[in-house]
Structure 1
Amino acid sequence: MGTPLGDFIRARRDGIQPESLGLPAHGRRRSPGLRRSDLAARAGISVEYLTRMEQGRDRNPSIAVMNALADALSLAPEERDHLRYLAKITGGECSAHTRPAPPRRQVRPSVLETLRLLEPGIAMVTNRLGDVLAHTSGFASVTNGTGLLDSDVPNLTRYVFTDPRARTFFADWDDVADEQAFDLWLGPSVEHYEWFTTELVSAAGSDFTRRLHRHVIPRRGALRLHHPSGCELKLLRETLDLSSDAQQLVVFLPADERTARAVGQFRSQPYGRLRAIS
């Protein structure tokens, strides 16, 4: 059985064409990408050691080995961060024989006050599992009629993968799905990640698991929405990490004049006040 670290290394190795690194193609091959022997040589490690890492039989590689692999794979800064994170959780992986409690949902009063100051703007507090913990009335106005906030405990990740309306609401659904799947790796804890993904796999199926194990660093461009009213919205996102709470404050800003006008119209309609979901 492999590990997230081994899956990531193998996926990146398979995605590299030898010619891009000045290496011979070695003729016809059974699988795409870079050979283990080539990657091991570039990283200065043995093929046997690389094989053990990819197969999950070595779970405690040194920082020096991680840096050497990152260099050998020509990883971008975001991919290097992800590699280090996977090495950390792989070394301390816990078994999910017992179901842990869900992550705490309380939002600090000072964060709620910040949300109030953002009214009537579009903002929410969430965590890496996708739980929507609090939101402004502006956020409710933009998501009204989409089903996202229909649940007593709304969760963006579950909505994206299990609610058919999400594929219409998000114009770039594939990109949003990649974002939500990737962010699960950065969840509040390994225990919470395992609890949530196990729960979601049965409902979301192979489309979710395939994205989860691809380890694709998301682009996070402008968010394009097909609002049920017929308006096309384009929003920029600014994210403030609340590290001590394992939460994030996300603010959405109109990216063009058409979106600004539409948002202004939504704000003129009653959608309630700031909501904290506990």
Structure 2
Amino acid sequence: MPDNALGRFLRARREATAPAPETPGRTPGLRRGELADRAGISVEYLTRLERGTDRSPSGQVLLALADALSLTADERVHLYRLIKADTACAPPAPQPLRPTVRKILDALDPTPACILTPAGDVIAATPAFRAIAGTDEPNLARFAFSPEAKAHYPDWDAIADTRAAALRAAADLNDHAANALAFELSLTAGHAFTSRYDKAATLPPTTGEERWGDLLLAYEVLHLPGEDDYRMMVYFSQH
């Protein structure tokens, strides 16, 4: 990260955040000790973050700082991108689908179906799936915790639980993309995501129902053989 961008951003937001209650005559903004108290971290650690001597804070620390600074959704995304720019290493590229798997998808059309990575990236789908997905976002978990998701999923709470559980299962198996996405969502979606992710204690269901808009869809999850641990989700209308 060039020029300690993370530290500069945290310091600028701290200095722009009004203390409560405001004290007449004092310098505007939070002191380091005040922000550290709000976030539940030490002043020494906050100092290291602002000076750039520590550039690898945990997702829990960043979420606490984001809440303490009352960051907007856009600012939380920016904070995540600052961390990603400093620590990112390119994850392994998804392996191409076997031609036979693509033929299965072709044969399923016009049934909604997709192929997912462990982290929930849609790497192939039938046109019918694209038509009802409600978004161009290529990751099911990221969309589930986006501002648009609740309007698309009438039973959003249940779907959010399922998507968080699927991501947790993949992250627990040390999937690089799943861990990175969980870190991202802990910042951008906050408690709505972390409360579900942290308590996920069971594997996500492989069959069930989901309501997408006006559609009630039954689904089956089929795990494909191979080292990439891809899975196929097939949806059937209940109407």
Calculate the TM-score normalised by the size of structure 2: 0.56
- Counterpart amino acid of residue 112 in structure 1: R
Residue 102 (str. 1) matches residue 91 (str. 2): yes
**Counterpart selection for 2:106 from 97, 116, 141:** 116
Q: Is the 8 A contact 1:128 1:184 kept in 2?
A: yes
In structure 1, the residue matched to 2:184 is 199
Q: CA deviation at 1:238?
A: 1.2
- What are the within-5 Å matches in structure 2 for residues 138-217 of structure 1? 138-143=128-133, 146=134, 148-149=135-136, 151=137, 154-162=138-146, 164-187=147-170, 189-192=173-176, 193-217=178-202
Q: Distance in 2 between matches of 1:254 and 1:124?
A: 15
Q: 1:247 to 1:160 in 2, by over 3 A?
A: same
Q: Report deviation, 1:98.
A: 5.8
Structure 2 residue 229 is matched with structure 1 residue 242: no
Task: Figure out how many residues of one structure are paired with residues of the other and give that number.
Answer: 148
Of 118, 122, 131 in structure 2, the residue corresponding to residue 128 of structure 1 is 118
Structure 2, unaligned stretches of length 5 or more?
Answer: 1-85
For 2:236 and 2:219, locate their aligned partners in 1 and report how far apart those are by CA, in whole Å.
6
1:24-77 CA-to-partner distances (Å, cap 9, x unmatched) read xxxxxxxxxxxxxxxxxxxxxxxxxxxxxxxxxxxxxxxxxxxxxxxxxxxxxx
Aligned-partner SS, 1:224: strand
Give me the whole-angstrom Cα distance separating, in 1, the residues matched to 2:169 and 2:93: 16
What is the identity percentage for the equivalent residue pairs of Structure 1 and Structure 2? Answer: 33
TM-score by length of 1: 0.49
Note closer, same or farther for the CA distance 1:194–1:155 as it changes in structure 2 (3 Å cut): same
Partners of 1:213 and 1:126 lie apart in 2 by 22
Unaligned runs of 5+ in 1: 1-96, 227-231, 260-278
Q: Secondary structure at the match of 2:150?
A: helix
C-alpha spacing 1:254/1:156, structure 2 compared with 1 (3 Å): same
Contact 1:127–1:187 (CA under 8 A) maintained in structure 2: no
Deviation, structure 1 residue 104: 3.2
Shift of 1:127: 2.0
Q: What per-residue deviation string (whole Å, max 9, x for no partner) do you get for residues 185-237 of structure 1?
A: 222741513222112222111211111011253566311121xxxxx211110
Q: How far apart, CA to CA, are the structure 2 residues paired with 1:103 and 1:186?
A: 19
**Cα distance in 1 between the residues matched to 2:197 and 2:92:** 20
Question: Partners in 1 of 2:159 and 2:88 — Cα distance?
Answer: 28
CA contact (8 A) 1:100 1:191 kept: no
Contact residue 178 and residue 216 of structure 1 kept, 8 A: no
Amino acid of the residue matched to residue 200 of structure 2? H
Equivalent residue letter for 1:239? V
In the aligned structure 1, how far is the partner of 2:194 from the partner of 2:210? Answer: 23
